[in-house]
Amino acid sequence: MESIYDRYGLELWEKFVAGAGSFNTEQLKLLSDAFKDSTKVLDLGIGLGNLAKILVSQGKIVYGVDIRRDSLDYAQRKVGSEDLGKLVLVERDVRDLNFNNEFDGASIVSNVADFGDLNPVFSGVYRALQNNGYFAMTGVESSQLERMNELRRNETELAIQEGRLFFTPDEVKKLQKEGKNLEKMKEGLSKVIDSSERTTDALIRNGFRVLRKQGFYHDTCYFVLAQK
Q: What is the CATH number of domain 4-143+190-227?
A: 3.40.50.150
Distance CA 159, CA 146 (A): 20
The 10s digit of each residue's pLDDT in 190-201 is: 455 789 999 999
Q: What pLDDT is stored for residue 120 in this prediction? A: 96
Query: Mean pLDDT for each consecutive 10-residue tract of the chain (228 residues)?
Result: 54 66 90 97 93 94 93 88 78 93 97 91 98 97 89 83 74 62 46 84 98 97 98
Q: Look at residues 108, 115, 110, 74 and name the one whose alpha carbon lies nearest to residue 93.
A: 115
Distance CA 189, CA 154 (A): 20
> pTM of the entire structure?
0.87
Q: What pLDDT is stored for residue 19 in this prediction? A: 62
In three state form, how does the secondary structure of the chain look? CCCHHHHHCHHHHHHHHHCCCCHHHHHHHHHHHHCCCCCEEEEECCCCCHHHHHHHHCCCEEEEEECCHHHHHHHHHHHCHHHHHHEEEEECCHHHCCCCCCEEEEEEECCHHHHCCHHHHHHHHHHHEEEEEEEEEEEECHHHHHHHHHHHHHHHHHHHHCCCCCCCHHHHHHHHHHHHHHHHHHHHHCCCCCCHHHHHHHHHHCCCEEEEEEEECCCCEEEEEEEC
The 10s digit of each residue's pLDDT in 149-194 is: 889 888 888 877 877 776 777 766 666 665 555 444 444 444 557 8
